Amino acid sequence: MTPALAIDVAGLTKRYDGRAVVNNIALQVETGRIVGFLGPNGSGKTTTIRMICGLLTPDAGAGTCLGLDIMREAAAIKRQVGYMTQKFGLYDDLSIRENLDFVARLFELPHRKDSVDAALERLGLVARQKQLAGSLSGGWKQRLALASCLIHAPRLLLLDEPTAGVDPKARREFWEQLHQLAGQGITVLVSTHYMDEAERCHGLVYIAYGSVLAQGTAASIVRASGAHDLEDAFVRLVDRAQDNFS
């Protein structure tokens, strides 16, 4: 039996001032998998993520996210997706609980207090729930951001470099949480620059110059490129792409 696809898009293209920042990207992600989205800064990763989750309309292409059409049903997709940006996007002058309550109001959750309580418990935030978000360390802000992404019980998490600037211990704990979520059937698409994180993904997509240069497991990408390790493989991919685009 073919696994269900959480993401199934093809031909995704986005242009700014006549230049394609995302060019004809095809992507398939199975339900309950963690897929790493990698590439240099400015490669088109964030733009692609935003098109998939309905925040940005593609100039060309088609497909589905969670079985919903990305062009016609963007509003419905957004209600089933948790999107975590690299920059902390909650309110520094509100407490942890107040921030989560605010997000629950945005999603019009019917049992708001229960949803906030569950989010606090799930991410180990109960003891700190009255602490102002602005006073939290990077790791605790990351936990709060993830809790806010999960409060409406999404089926898909789109995480845009969620561990940037976070200490190694917090990064390890974060990835343990991601694997627990995947085990519960939640699909995760995460962009990262860390090779150790890439190797913890079930699959990888490497993008540069707005195009997908490689897809597969870490082992298969290393093997296909003839590289010694994953970092070496990505260097070779970019070098070859530079030759093609120059």
Q: Tens digit of pLDDT per residue, the chain (246 long)?
A: 445 899 999 999 999 998 999 999 999 999 999 999 998 888 898 899 889 988 899 999 999 999 999 999 999 999 999 999 888 889 999 999 999 999 999 999 999 999 999 999 999 999 999 999 999 998 899 999 999 999 999 999 999 888 887 888 888 989 999 999 999 999 999 998 888 899 999 999 999 989 999 999 999 999 998 888 999 998 888 887 776 655
Superfamily of structural domain 5-80+154-245: P-loop containing nucleotide triphosphate hydrolases (3.40.50.300)
Query: For 134, how many CA atoms within 13 A lie in the half-sphere containing its CB?
Result: 4
Domain boundary assignment for the chain: 5-80+154-245, 90-152
Angstrom CA distances, 88 to 17, 111, 148, 166, 224, stand at 29, 26, 11, 12, 37
Global pTM value: 0.89
